[in-house]
Amino acid sequence: MCHLRFSERLLSPVSLIKCGCDASAARNGLNLSGRRNETCQHLSNGEICAACLPASPFSPPSLLPPTPRRGVHGPSGSAVFFFSGSERSENFVNCVGRSGKAEGAVDGTQSRPSRSSRPSRSSRSRSRSKRLLRGRRWVMTGQRLSLLTPLAVLGLLVGLADLSHGFAGEDEDYYMQQLLLTREQFNRARAPEKPAASAPDMDERRSHDPTKKAPKVDAGSGRRTGKNAADGKSVKTANKKSEKSKKSAVKSPTSISEGDRQYNSMNEECPPMGLETLKIDDFQLHASTTKRYGLGAHRGRLNIQAGIYEDDLYDGAWCAGIDDPLQWFEVDARRLTKFTGVVTQGRSSLWSSDWVTSYKVMVSNDSHTWVTLRNGSKDLIFVGNREKEIPVRNILPEPVVGRYIRVNPRSWFHSGSICMRVEILGCPMPDPNNYYHRRNEIITTDNLDFRHHSYKEMRQLMKVVNEMCPNITRIYNIGKSHSGLKLYAIEISDNPGEHEVGEPEFRYTAGSHGNEVLGRELLLLLMQFMCLEYRSGNQRIRHLVAETRIHLLPSLNPDGYEKAFEAGSELSGWSLGRWSNAGIDIHHNFPDLNSILWEGEAKKWIPRKMFNHHVPIPEWYLSKNASFNKQNPMVAVETRALIAWMEKIPFVLGGNIQGGELVVTFPYDKTRSPGVAREQTPTPDDHVFRWLAFSYASTHRLMTAANRRVCHTEDFAKEDGTINGASWHTAAGSMNDFSYLHTNCFEFSMYVGCDKFPHESELPEEWENNRESLLVFMEQVHRGIKGVVRDLQGRGIANAIVSVQGIGHDIRTASDGDYWRLLNPGEYRVTAKAEGYSIASKKCEVGYEMGATSCSFVIGRTNLSRIKEIMEKFNKRPIKLPVRQLQVRRTREMQPGT
């Protein structure tokens, strides 16, 4: 009886199905490598002779059993059987038949099986037809191998390799094939390569090279022999040239050849697999035990944030249900992957302190047989975290290839539990024969500079863009950071450097939090893209540049960015570089004008004592001590530079790009009810804000996707990817609220990714996710009404108030008298007024098509204003008498005789 083990179980007909074969195929003489073997007999108990198995565990896929199609041959995935030399010999000897010869022998003395043992011609014909319909064209021959000429053997091998390539490309579950790694073979493969000394070692090394012929099987001993090897002797290399090529070849203990292509770049640095960016979905994460659902394996992602309360469904780590060294956290890559490192964090919690201080790493290809990474004769123990927030990265001594990887905690914080957040560094192994992994892959066609830029590199890139498109770009700075770095901006317009009457001003800013670097790179990519497309004649970009003055400021907090950039994308954590050098959150460092406005409304000062717009900045905020107090500065120098920039240029629409979530927020960001953490707090222009926010979210590839996973704790997809800032969390003094209350600009915050600092390899996909949104949002600046408020002489009137009936928020004209008012489609009663001028009103209709409706006004001076102007011109002032004296004078004049 042939006792052939499959995962320590007897190989049954079910096992044959998992291996890519079935009982009828075995009876028809097809071995597991897909080649015809007339003597390969299907035994009575469903087992199969060892001669029908692939030659080696590291054989190329062309010699491995093909993966069955789902629902036709059973479960997807194939298995490879590993044998040491003694196992192969023992199992093969057990297959000897009554004649005394091995049933699987392939020597020249073998005889053809009897006619009764072979299937009928009709069954063979039907089987051949089915194989042809499935695309499996296998070479079938009944001749003895000893009679084949060398040319025929070469042609047979080439044909088999070609056919195996064609089949792999058809199977959509090709990546699900599994390779069972045993501890013994893993350690043997990790050993340094030495000259061949025994047949098994030589066979294993030879199987790495798919271009070499598979050695023949000796029927007497079960050993494989080479061309020049004698019976009972070790196999040696044929010549010095082949031995030299073996030594020079780049090999790895777990590298696997795919077809005729060998993956040699084993020492390259691999990016994160995507636990933080959600490329790895929840179904690919598993754990031994969990404390509760909110602390399940799906929460064990690097930098994931927890909710405020301890028993939330969205907690900040995976936590084991039992604190012992048998726990593990597992990641299923769903394909062969080269693992190079592990990054870990503790639990994100306001109340608990939990982290792992040391751990082991194990790999597998079937999730049953696991191999622990070793250092000689001992298991490798990796040093973990010392606190819960700072990430720790461990690079594996040598890359390993597998489908599954486990992190096995060995020790943890003495006052805490086994809790961790994880990121795996790994590269998917290449497979050009399969389209499965490329089905949902995002590939950009834009030839841009996709990498992270330091401050110096950013400045150089902006200079290159300016040199490429000097007629439409201009570089300037709005001020300096705390450490003296200039805050550079680039202007894109058909007439850079000037404000044109009737042309709206638009701005994008990024990097107010230095560690949220995706926005910075998106703006650098956007300026490159617009320059290149303008040069190539893209009509959409040309029209946008001709009709809009665009300002891009990619880095508001360059000091914080340099800190995060130095640490890197995996080690910057959640907060390193967020604040300025003075320790200030720039985005929330603006004066709180909400409280001033709401107090005036409560006291009914509007519109008699104060306006509902252009709320003035408090005097304490403008004092020098607020910024230049070295011990405790209250206002960042970057914030002052921003305010001066916003007051100088009449921006109409703006967006500040941030990271860590997938949502667009709009004012108000502060709740109106004091002491309330979250509350819907709309502005008078709430309907306009929602329209504009949705224009960005709806054109983003992921924000409105109903099937996307929650980044941290909030499911913003239910809100169409947009939310009122105060209903998310209250924040006083935000840039959005200040821009709306102090200027005419409608400001939004775009959170463009769950990962604040994505790896460089993720930038092309992130650009594709946001490119259309960035352009569409810029085009929204032309929605609503626009016009010029002039006097009777045709001169523009600055600071004229333009109000819309039914909306309790007015705007003001720029220095040339022009204005832009963002409105949704509809009919509005618009009024223009200015101090010393009469009031004018008219109806203006806004359509659904893109392009603002023209709505201009001509207003004249009032009589009182003319008198004042004349008196001031001649340095005279009108006499102001008390009302009582005026009445006495008039009565005297009316008396007769006076």
Q: Is the CB of residue 426 less than 8 Å from the CB of residue 337? A: yes
Which residues on neighbouring strands pair with residue 506, listed in sequence order? 550, 653
With tokens 């900040």, the residue in question is 316
* Alpha-carbon span 107 to 146, nearest angstrom: 8
Per-block mean pLDDT, blocks of 10 residues, the chain (898 long): 37 38 40 40 42 38 37 35 35 37 37 45 52 44 42 49 38 35 38 32 34 34 36 37 37 34 56 93 95 94 87 88 95 94 94 95 94 92 95 95 96 95 93 60 85 96 96 96 96 94 96 95 97 96 96 96 92 91 93 95 90 93 73 84 96 96 96 92 96 96 88 88 94 96 97 94 94 97 96 94 96 95 96 93 93 94 79 66 61 61
Strand bridging mode 722-724 / 661-666 = parallel
Determine the straight-line distance between the first and last CA of the chain, rounded to whole angstroms.
146
Q: Is the CB of residue 49 less than 8 Å from the CB of residue 41? A: yes
* Alpha-carbon span 515 to 171, nearest angstrom: 43
In tens, the pLDDT along 862-876 reads 877 777 777 777 776
Neighbours of 511 (CB within 10 A): 31
DSSP 781-806: GGSSEEEEEE-TTS-B-TT-EEEETT
pLDDT at 30: 39
pLDDT at 603: 92
Distances (CA, A) of 398 to 105, 133, 269, 373, 775: 40, 44, 11, 9, 45
pLDDT at 208: 36
Residue 602 structure tokens: 């409560």
Cis? peptide before 751, omega within 30° of 0: no
Q: Please give the DSSP secondary-structure letter assigned to residue 57.
A: T
pLDDT at 443: 78
Distances (CA, A) of 341 to 211, 482, 707, 726: 31, 36, 30, 40
Which residues on neighbouring strands pair with residue 829, listed in sequence order? 843
pLDDT at 843: 95
With tokens 């108030």, the residue in question is 801
pLDDT at 895: 64
pLDDT at 707: 85
DSSP 555-620: -S-HHHHHHHHHH-TTTSTTTTT-S-TTS--GGG-S--HHHHHHHHHHTT-TTTTS-SSSPPPPHH
Residue 559 structure tokens: 């000091």
Residue 39 structure tokens: 């003597």
* Alpha-carbon span 473 to 549, nearest angstrom: 10
* Alpha-carbon span 279 to 505, nearest angstrom: 37
Residue 635 structure tokens: 């206002």
With tokens 């500065």, the residue in question is 633
User: How large is the angle between the packed helices 455-468 and 558-567, nearest 10 degrees?
Assistant: 110
Distance of CA 39 to the CA centre of its chain: 54
Residue 661 structure tokens: 């979530």
